[in-house]
Structure 1
Amino acid sequence: MIREYQAKDLDAIMNLWLQGNEQAHNFIDPEFFKQNYDIVKMLIPMSTIYVQDINGVVGFIGLTENYISGLFVEKNSQHQGTGSALLEKAKQHHKELLVHVYKQNSDAINFYLSQDFAIVGESINEETNYPEVLMRCNVEHKVKIGKCAL
């Protein structure tokens, strides 16, 4: 079940955040994420967060307006539609979504490409000095009239 963030989710979300970053970004020194842990923990409640709760939090997406500040799924729940479902939830609330992805994180780039995102820019991340791409998805919201979608 996808639901909105609750304060009781914070520790589970932070565990997913730390493990997910260390797994997906093995080219970055793990100390970088540990040093940013407390800052992220403070910022999480200020974002719009949706969690996938299946007997506990197995994934979450964090949004700052239409920017995806994080999408993490626990390792054992990956490739089962959790990330797609969380992204779909975000698409329900926005006409456009943006996300930065490290160029070395080809799994994430391929995931977003499969979800109708396109690469629209490249830059160097100021904190890590690693190259990243900016990806954008323009979301089409269909108007439903009766049983038909227009």
Structure 2
Amino acid sequence: MDETPHENAAELRIRPSQGPTDYAPLAAIWRSAVTATHDFLAETDREEIESTLESDDFPAVWLDVAELDGRQVGFSGVLNGNLEMLFVDAGRRGVGIGTKLLTHAIEEHEVRTVDVNEQNAQAVEFYMRRGFQVVGRSETDDAGRPYPLLHLSLS
């Protein structure tokens, strides 16, 4: 997932979430990104995770929204210095949105750690190329599902 500057990158704006009014568009971005990058995820698990995004997951983190020409194209969620989520609309991947969201999270929210699905090789490479290193591994995700997590820390 090589992110290079795009001619529209200057128009990209990162703003705090406006709360529940942002949640449906962000869930759609999540769905688009997961469909493109999480082919290892069982459909029932994807549906279970998606069903809690708006009610549980989004309200639990500091959400920042990336907008391009006024339209949501990505988001990040941070809790206590950990990047809990970073997703970019599948049709907008590879143009620098993820990098800008990550840089914002590091600079504005002091992010130093992130957990990544081991099977999501593109995401692992994305974080490693931006200075993160593997510091641990879990056999399951936070909910006990059989998706190993790599624990990364900014070096």
What band does the TM-score fall into relative to the shorter chain? 0.7 to 0.9
Q: Find the aligned partners of 2:54 and 2:140 in 1 and give their Cα distance.
A: 21
Query: Any idea what the Cα deviations from partners look like across 1:42-93, whole Å, max 9, x if unmatched?
Result: 1202310111111311000011121111100011211111001001111113
In the other structure, the counterpart of 1:12 is 25
List runs of 5+ in structure 2 lacking aligned partners: 1-12
Q: Please report the RMSD computed on the Cα atoms of aligned residues, expressed in angstroms.
A: 1.5
> Are 1:22 and 2:35 an aligned pair?
yes
1:100 match: secondary structure: strand
Which runs of 4 or more aligned residues in structure 1 lie more than 3 Å from their structure 2 counterparts after TM superposition?
A: none
Q: Which of residues 83, 103, 112 in structure 1 aligns to 2:118? A: 103
Q: Distance in 1 between matches of 2:51 and 2:117?
A: 22
Higher relative contact order at CA 8 Å, sep ≥6: structure 1 or structure 2?
Answer: 2
For residue 61 of structure 2, the aligned residue among 33, 47, 57 is: 47
Match of 1:148 in 2: none
Distance 2:126 2:72 in 1: 21
**Secondary structure of the corresponding residue to residue 84 of structure 2:** strand
Q: TM-score, with normalisation over the residues of structure 1?
A: 0.84
The correspondence for 2:147, drawn from 130, 133, 147, is 130
Please tell me whether the aligned partners of residues 98 and 135 of structure 1 are also in contact (alpha carbons under 8 angstroms): yes
Asked if residue 119 in structure 1 is aligned to residue 134 in structure 2, the reply is yes
Q: Give identity over the alignment, percent.
A: 25
For residue 94 of structure 1, report the CA deviation from its aligned partner: 4.2
TM-score normalised per structure 2: 0.82
1:82 is aligned to 2:97:
yes
Q: Show CA shifts across 1:106-129 (max 9, x none).
A: 100000011111111111124321
Q: Distance in 2 between matches of 1:52 and 1:95?
A: 18
Larger radius of gyration: 1
After the TM superposition, which of the residue ranges 125-134 and 53-62 deviates more from structure 2? 125-134
Pair 1:86–1:104, CA change in 2 (3 A): same
CA contact (8 A) 2:139 2:148 kept: yes
- Which amino acid in 2 is paired with 1:76? G
Instruction: Show structure 1 runs of 5+ residues with no match.
Output: 139-150
Instruction: After TM superposition, give the deviation of residue 40 of structure 1 in Å.
Output: 2.0
The corresponding residue for 1:71 is: 86
Q: Give the whole-Å Cα distance in 1 for the aligned partners of 2:109 and 2:26.
A: 23
Count matched residues: 138
